[in-house]
Amino acid sequence: MHFTQSYLTLPATFYKEILPTPVAEPQLIIWNESVAEELGFSDTPTNYTKFLAGNETFESSQPIAQAYAGHQFANFTMLGDGRAILLGELKAKNDSTYDIQLKGSGRTPFSRGGDGRAALGPMLREYIISEAMHHLGIPTTRSLAVIYSGEGIQRETVKPGAVLTRIAKSHIRVGTFQYAAQFGSIEELRALADYTIEHLFIPENEKPYESLLQEVIQRQATLIAQWQLIGFVHGVMNTDNMALSGETIDYGPCAFLDNYDPATVFSSIDQQGRYAYGNQPGIAGWNLARFAESLLPLLSDNQEQAVERAQAILDSYPKLFEQAYNEGLCRKFGLTQTTENTKLASDFLQLMQTHKADYTDTFRALTLQDYSHDFFGHTEVQSWLERFEQSMGTRTSQHQHMMEASNPVIIPRNHLVQQALDEAETGSMEKVITLLEHLEKPYTYSPAQLDFDQRPPETGRDFVTYCGT
């Protein structure tokens, strides 16, 4: 494997060189064959175990921990990779370059008193959810492998430890720029911005930093719209968890909607509902404003003029999000986006909320014209169906294809993921493997896929997720 480490071209304030801490008895427990092939891991998977556990170092690797800051629940703090180490970058078969990062690989200068380790359950959760998001067509980091460490780590109880290998286009975050703006010089901030423009292929023009801001806003507007359309709740949308690449990153207390309710919160630490499902578009806008603030010194030497330029670009976010979301929402109904169709779709969501309808199950039933569910028996829903059929007219194969391509049969149901993780902690990976096999084909309307999906035993409202740190 030939690694490069372009991050070392940045000023040293942005990273610390550090080696992973070896684990006791590394054991490969899951391997992503498609990612491995794309990245050129051509040897027998177990031959990489010691390297991906951090017990050995690839010859060309120059491991570092990245520095960044961020707003966590609106409170600014200094952060950094406290339990992750970036091994370097590999060029894939498609000529794109990807970061290879170990998560749970030991303490770093940014650990802030933490042990730098990760538990098996959260690492497998990230593997499962990130792979599900990829197959759902949503930009995301991916996972190459999970290594069981052979060690117990202390959380609420002693948990089996693990190391995840994460793959990303980039690990540069909003918080990376906040760190540069708060603690670095203008020259260091400019170096980071220039690096990001080159690394993320930002279109070049005479106003590069304005282009950077606009491109990041566009990518985030599209990404958050996709989250909303699939019913994904990130759970911890701190600015250090927003990647400028437009990839979903840091799968901590994430989950998927069961019953449709914009106020849904799963995270155990989100007591005020800041990162509720319905708040995600607004929080993304808030995070982007923090990114814009960090760029002000590069937009103009005149503070007032810099703010005006940043604000003019930020003002595009609501429209970009609304456009992406409304177009995607109408596609879930097999309709083109018009004001009337958007109103029709929004009315359906309101009915789903009123009657506590399951998000994925209800759209799947609508796609299949299966109106046997209790939800469709309500008088006002029947009236809505009449409006819907009038708007669509005769359902054609084009309508059907659009709906099937927009409404998954399978999502990572929270209770199914938890059951798989609980079993994995006992030493069996059977449920994890079975779940992953189904999640690879989320839009396949086959009997096997339809039979596999199971709504939770109850409403799912009491489901709680944890960060795992």
The per-residue pLDDT for range 23-51, each reduced to its tens digit, is 999 999 999 999 999 999 999 999 999 99
Residues in Cβ contact with 46 at an 8 Å cutoff, skipping those fewer than 6 apart: 28
What whole-number distance in Å separates Cα of residue 171 and Cα of residue 273? 26
Q: List the single range of 143-147, 157-161, 460-464 with lowest mean pLDDT.
A: 460-464
Residue 241 backbone dihedrals phi, psi, to 5 degrees: -110, 20
Whether residue 251 contacts residue 125, with contact meaning beta carbons closer than 8 Å, is answered with: yes
Give me 95's structure tokens.
Answer: 């000529």
Residues in Cβ contact with 364 at an 8 Å cutoff, skipping those fewer than 6 apart: 370, 407, 408, 409, 450, 453
Whether residue 67 contacts residue 240, with contact meaning beta carbons closer than 8 Å, is answered with: no
**Of 228, 229, 210, 323, nearest in space to 284 by CA:** 228
Q: Which strand (E) or helix (H) includes residue 404?
A: helix 397-404
Give me 196's structure tokens.
Answer: 């990001």
CA angle 100, 106, 110 (to 5 degrees): 90
Q: What is the mean pLDDT of residues 167-194?
A: 98
81, 99, 240, 361: the active-site residue: 240
| Eight-state DSSP code of residue 95 | S
Residue 259 backbone dihedrals phi, psi, to 5 degrees: -70, 140
What whole-number distance in Å separates Cα of residue 390 and Cα of residue 394? 9
Confidence band for 460, pLDDT divided at 50, 70 and 90: very low
Q: What is the pLDDT of residues 116-138, one digit of tens each?
A: 999 999 999 999 999 999 999 99
| 240 labelled catalytic | yes
Residues in Cβ contact with 117 at an 8 Å cutoff, skipping those fewer than 6 apart: 83, 104, 106, 149, 151, 153, 161
Number of neighbours of residue 301 by Cβ within 10 angstroms: 9
Percent of the chain surpassing pLDDT 70 = 98
Residue 315 CB burial class (10 angstroms; 0-12, 13-18, ≥19): exposed
Q: What is the pLDDT of residues 213-254, one digit of tens each?
A: 999 999 999 999 999 999 999 999 999 999 999 999 999 899
> Could you please report the per-residue DSSP string of 13-67?
GGEEE-PPPP-SS-EEEEE-HHHHHHHT--S-GGGGHHHHHTSS--TT---EEE-
Give me 248's structure tokens.
Answer: 């979903």
Helices (runs of H) and strands (runs of E) counted in the chain: 16, 12
Number of neighbours of residue 357 by Cβ within 10 angstroms: 24
| Eight-state DSSP code of residue 7 | G
The pLDDT of residue 205 is 84
Whether residue 466 is predicted with pLDDT greater than 80 in this model: the reply is no
Please, which residues bridge with residue 259 across strands? 358
Q: What is the pLDDT of residues 410-434, one digit of tens each?
A: 999 999 999 999 999 999 999 999 9
What whole-number distance in Å separates Cα of residue 469 and Cα of residue 466? 8
Number of neighbours of residue 348 by Cβ within 10 angstroms: 23
**Most distant pair of Cα atoms in the chain: their distance:** 68
The pLDDT of residue 130 is 98
Q: What is the pLDDT of residues 283-313, one digit of tens each?
A: 999 999 999 999 999 999 999 999 999 999 9
Whether residue 468 is predicted with pLDDT greater than 80 in this model: the reply is no
Residue 339 CB burial class (10 angstroms; 0-12, 13-18, ≥19): exposed
